[in-house]
Amino acid sequence: MLEPKIPDNEIERLQSLRTLNILDTEAEERFDRLTRLARNMFHVPIALVSLIDENRQWFKSSAGLDATETPRNISFCGHAILGEITFIVPDTLEDERFRDNPLVTDAPHIRFYAGHPLRDYKGNKLGTLCIIDHEPRQLSPQDAESLKDLAEMAEKELAAAQLATIDELTKISNRRGFMMLAQSSLDLCARQKLPATLAYLDLNKFKQVNDQFGHAEGDLALVVFANQMSICFRNSDVFARLAGDEFVVLLTDVSPEQAELAIERLRSMLAKYNQSAQRGYAIEFSAGVLQFLHKRLARRCATIRCMEEAILNAGTPMLIKRVSVSGALFVCNVDKTRWPVCAAFTDISAVSRSRISPTIMMSGSCRKKALNAEAKVKPTLLSTLT
């Protein structure tokens, strides 16, 4: 038996799959209708809408099969997503890749398989619409085209769910998509005892760009910024446009200092773009960093609600900006009775214009360091924990 290979874009593919928020959901008529149609059209006992997760293939719809999932390493669909066209196995017993596959030697006793990849809007292959028979057979070019048509119908159904998690302008995740992906990343960090660092990015003087150059130019600036984020950050990082000129990125297995290096790399990339583009304005941003410590991720602060309230809650992002122009990084607990996380500022210029609650708390030692810093920060922003 030959196990399916892992696609080169596996990390991005899995992220896209999880933004659908469709795995392990109930059966839906819009998909069941397609598998019923496939069974009747091709006169086969089994038709599936299969999605390839990290270690399994899960069936969103299964007509003629009681199982809801099988291991990925024995899946036919794992092979199908590696190609661009319909994957056909006329007779499994004549194919050395599958003749001793457990799905062939045991139930459901696959002898014939044909599956067409299901793609997202970026071209990531998330799964297949496939048909299975207990007898060997051939699939004519006309039948293969019909199977492709059904697969495209399934793709449209998946796209309807995915578009709800994608920012229409920048084509990166929106707030909803970010929350889904971020929770999965935090859960992974909790299991593997890894830290996670969240960076909140806010474009500088964006309103002036809109006012002076028009909204079309403002939209272009947002698209450029999103594209630079896509290039700068790793495939394992989760980034999104939250709203307006606000962006966020979750970096796993990095410290705040390493996150700062990534942020500075983004600044450098934008500076090069500004120099070459000469649009009459500079795309620049302020940033704040929030660290989730792995010892606490398994607890309450690992939940998406904690992150939502701590940093993304509309109107009051719970960020404490850096208060030293000398480059020192002050880390402190934010409301440690509720969220045992760390926060640090990376841009002093953002203090005066950020929506920071005047009751944000700092530990006594951090408050002392902040008050002794060179930066001029209003004392009302600092308060000692009691």
44-89, pLDDT tens digit by residue?
A: 999 999 999 999 999 999 999 999 999 999 999 999 999 999 999 9
What CATH number was assigned to the domain covering residues 175-381?
A: 3.30.70.270
Looking at residue 294, what is its pLDDT? Answer: 53
Mean pLDDT of 339-368: 34
Amino acid letter, residue 364: G
Looking at residue 307, what is its pLDDT? Answer: 55
Q: Which residue has the higher pLDDT, 200 or 324?
A: 200
Q: Which of 50-64, 189-203, 371-385 has the lowest mean pLDDT?
A: 371-385
pTM (predicted TM-score) = 0.55
DSSP state of 68: S
Contact between residue 112 and residue 26 where contact means Cβ atoms under 8 Å apart: no
Mean pLDDT across the chain, nearest whole number? Answer: 78
In 56-141, beta strands by DSSP E = 56-63, 69-71, 87-89, 112-119, 125-133
Mean pLDDT of 3-11: 94
Contact between residue 327 and residue 348 where contact means Cβ atoms under 8 Å apart: no
Strands across the sheet containing 238-243: 238-243, 246-252, 196-203, 285-292, 342-345, 332-333
Amino acid letter, residue 351: V
Q: Which of 17-26, 48-57, 126-135 has the lowest mean pLDDT?
A: 17-26
What CATH number was assigned to the domain covering residues 10-165?
A: 3.30.450.40
Mean pLDDT of 249-261: 86
Hey, where are the domains in the chain?
A: 10-165, 175-381
DSSP track, 181-246: HHHHHHHHHHHHT--EEEEEEEETTHHHHHHHH-HHHHHHHHHHHHHHHHHHS-TT-EEEEEETTE
pLDDT digits 0-9 by tens, 277-290:
999 999 999 887 77
Looking at residue 341, what is its pLDDT? Answer: 35
Looking at residue 295, what is its pLDDT? Answer: 53
Between strands 246-252 and 87-89, the pairing is unpaired
- Token representation of residue 333: 């607990």
Looking at residue 94, what is its pLDDT? Answer: 96
- Token representation of residue 155: 């793709």
